[in-house]
Amino acid sequence: MSLLNQVRDAVDFIRTKTAIEPEIGLILGSGLGELADEIQNPTVLDYRDIPYFPVSTVPGHAGRLVLGELEGKKVVAMQGRFHYYEGYSMQQVTFPVRVMKMLGVKTLVVTNACGGINRHFKPGDLMLIQDHLNLTGTNPLIGPNEEAFGPRFPDMSEPYSKALQEVAVRSAEAVGVELQKGVYAGISGPSFMTPAELIMLRNLGADALGMSTVPEVIVANHMGMDVLGIACVTDMAIGEELEPLTHEQVMRVARETKPKFIKLVKRILHDME
Amino acid sequence: MTMKEKIRDVLAALESRLSVKPDIALVLGSGLGGLADELEDAIRIPYTELPHFPAATVPGHAGRFVVGRLHSVPVIAMQGRYHYYEGYTLEQVTLPVRVMQALGAETVILTNAAGGVNETFQAGDLMVIRDHINWFHTNPLIGKNEDELGPRFPDMSEVYDRSLRALAKETAQALGISLKEGVYFGLSGPSYETPAEVRMIRKLGGDAVGMSTVPEAIAARHGGMKVLGFSCITNAWSGTGDQPLSHEEVIETSERVKAHFTSLIKAIVKRMGE
């Protein structure tokens, strides 16, 4: 079955479960899933019940789609996402983004946990994603193009909406949250990077790195969505000063940063047109 | 089935239809396929009539061999090529180059439409490829090596033949065509580069960026062909993201520089035949 028909089936299924027509999509990264619990009048769908949705395998990634209202906006939130390193194809990783768009979503807010490469960052910082480097080694659009989704060669000159970045900066000021800015390098993982690789990424222009977001944002741009990306710096990844890192440490900082992160994202939703 | 066997199948379907044995192979990139229409005594063979050749999927890529004479030099031209971003394997992408070599072509001229990364480049520039960077994150030679086709570890110290590059520069000068020289940065696409990626490519040493050519050049060198490459700079990337880009613009610019491109390639082929 074509990807287009798979997406349509998923959309049809979701529409039998809720009448809500979401305008904003939220992808909630490591540790931020709790924000979905604040959605009003929620319709909660397990990924496993939605046709063609893959199922999440990472601890801390719940695996539910939540539709409802948040800060007066109609939203659809992914509580848990799919990662390339889990063994999913890039088409599977980005499937929910296509479903969101065909549900009517025009704006995608992507969040993640990342490692800080820029020396001016510190664990617990939030970073506004200005741009990205696709270093995953592949591209979710490889294969025949589906014209109903978007053009064969999507323009990527503004992968993250400048207008939405301005909204985020104003929202951060309004709630008193310091917001860093930078370029997010997306890698496949799942191994963390070596010191030499981290130094290379810094030389290539990266301020932060992580194992998600880039495929989703490429597909969102393919579909003509406006994207806002916010990353939570959970650890510093300076090649010259690298210390052993565990997933537990990442989750701890993500947990500690959560209240600030949630406050900011809610305010941004509130401030969006 | 081995690559050698596939090549044999294609030759069996192809050879009896040809009146000339080509000396030079031409791979014509986006918007540059028109050159093939200038071949004399041309025979056109759609890829779909050949075994192991899948159908092309991109608008602007016709998808056929055109075999004939250019300034009386026997050539085989690819009007349309296979791209990795279309979902083909690199083996499929590079099969046509192998076939053209098996037909007798000792030299391949690879051409493409590319984005300008070097800040001195402008849309409409022509660039002779001095070298490339393989950023496809894969290689067409991965797998069991077929020793009949080439060595396990092919040398890449001079992918783009030095004397052919010199010939290209002399010819361009004689025609009064401005010709840049630079490094082609090959990646999968199909999404265009982000501004941060453009800056990265610049730091890594790329002068032009595109989604083809590198796998074909690797396969051609593996087989021992001489390679000459040209990029038609269809847009100049600033790295600041102030210029959205569409495939239509790329095609438009290729259309504009086509006259220069065509006369340059024709003159080079003529001189190579002398």
pLDDT digits (tens, 9 = 90+) for B87-128: 999 999 999 999 999 999 999 999 999 999 999 999 999 999
**Residue labelled with tokens 């890698």:** A187
Separation between Cα atoms, residue B44 and residue A121, nearest integer Å? 60
pLDDT of residue A62: 63
CA B260 – CA B258 distance, rounded (Å) = 5
Contacts of B190 in chain A (CB under 8 A): 139, 141-142, 145, 152-154
SS (H, E, C) A32-91: CHHHHHHCEEEEEEEHHHCCCCCCCCCCCCCCEEEEEEECCEEEEEEECCCCHHHCCCHH
**Closest-CA residue of chain B to A184:** B196
User: Which residues on neighbouring strands pair with residue A107, listed in sequence order?
Assistant: A24, A226
Relative to beta strand A73-79, strand A64-70 is: antiparallel
Q: How far is CA A221 from CA A160, A218, A228, in A?
A: 9, 5, 11
CA dist A192 to A86, A184, A198, B189, B199, Å? 14, 15, 9, 25, 24
Lowest pLDDT segment from A121-125, A221-225, B31-35, B43-47:
B31-35
Q: What is the reported pLDDT for A32?
A: 83
Query: If DSSP codes are grouped into helix, strand and coil, which group holds residue B130?
Result: strand
Interchain proximity A204–B245, CB inside 8 Å: no
- Judging contacts by C-beta atoms under 8 Å, the chain B residues touching residue A204 are 200, 203-204
What's the average model confidence in pLDDT over B138-161?
96
For residue B138, pLDDT over 90 is answered with: yes
Chain Cα centroid distance, residue B136: 15
Given this model, what pLDDT does residue B13 score?
94
Pair of tokens at residue B181: 């020289």
Please tell me which residue of chain A has the smallest CA distance to B134: A137
Distance from CA of A153 to the nearest CA of B (A): 5
Say what the pTM is: 0.93
The verdict on a CB contact (< 8 Å) between A154 and B194 is no
Which residues on chain A place their C-beta less than 8 Å from a C-beta of chain B? 130-134, 137-139, 141-145, 151-159, 183, 203-205, 218, 221-222
Q: Is the dihedral of CA A20, A26, A31, A35 positive or negative?
A: negative
> Cβ contact (<8 Å) for B191 and A144?
no
The one-letter code for the residue type at B232 is: C
| Closest alpha carbon within chain A to B237 | A157
**Interval B163-187: pLDDT, tens:** 999 999 999 999 999 999 999 999 9
| Sign of the alpha-carbon torsion through A55, A56, A62, A64 | negative
**What is the pLDDT, as a whole number, of residue A3?**
95
- The pLDDT value recorded for residue B252 is 79
For A158, nearest residue in chain B (alpha carbons) = B241
Average pLDDT over residues B29-51: 91
How close is the nearest chain B Cα to the Cα of A52, in Å?
21
DSSP annotation of A194 reads P
Q: Can you state the angle between helices A90-102 and A214-222, rounded to 10 degrees? A: 50
Residue contact B196–A139, C-beta within 8 A: no
Three-state DSSP class for residue A165: helix
Mean model confidence pLDDT for chain B: 93
pLDDT in tens, B219-255: 999 999 999 999 999 888 877 776 777 778 777 787 7
DSSP state of B196: H
Could you identify the residue written with the tokens 């495939």? Answer: B247
Residue B246 is nearest to which of A139, A155, A218, comparing CB atoms?
A155
Cβ distance of A203 and B203 shorter than 8 Å: yes
Higher pLDDT, B252 or B80: B80
Chain B, residues 118-147, CB within 8 A of chain A, namely 137
Cross-strand partners of B181:
B128
Per-residue model confidence (pLDDT) at position B56: 64
Residue of A143, A154, A205 with shortest CB distance to B191: A154
In chain B, pLDDT over 90 holds for what percent of residues?
Answer: 82
The Cα of A158 is separated from the nearest Cα of chain B by a number of Å equal to 6
pLDDT at B256: 79
Is the CB of A142 less than 8 angstroms away from the CB of B250? no
What is the pLDDT at residue A57?
Answer: 66
- Cβ within 8 Å, pair A222-B189: no
- Residue B61 above 60 pLDDT? no
Question: Which SS3 state, helix, strand or coil, does residue A180 take?
Answer: strand
* B87 and A CB contact within 8 Å: yes
Contact B189 A141 (CB under 8 A): yes
| C-alpha–C-alpha distance, residues A45 and A15, integer Å | 11
Q: What share of chain A is helix, strand, coil (3-state, %, to 5)?
A: 35, 25, 40
Does B3-273 carry CATH code 3.40.50.1580?
A: yes
pLDDT at B58: 59
Which residues of B are catalytic, by number?
Answer: 30, 61, 83, 85-86, 113, 211-212, 235, 247
pLDDT, averaged in runs of 10, over chain A (273 residues): 96 97 93 89 95 76 88 96 93 97 98 96 97 98 96 95 98 98 97 93 97 98 98 93 82 90 96 92
In chain A, the domains with their CATH numbers are 3-271 (3.40.50.1580)
Q: Could you give the ipTM of this predicted complex? A: 0.91
> Looking at beta carbons, which residues of chain A come within 8 Å of B85?
139, 141-143
Say whether B190 and A145 touch across the interface (CB within 8 A): yes
* pLDDT-derived band at B55, boundaries 50, 70, 90: confident
DSSP B160: B
Residue A61: its pLDDT value, please?
A: 55
Q: Please tell me the distance from the alpha carbon of residue B146 to that of residue B140, in angstroms, as a whole number.
A: 12
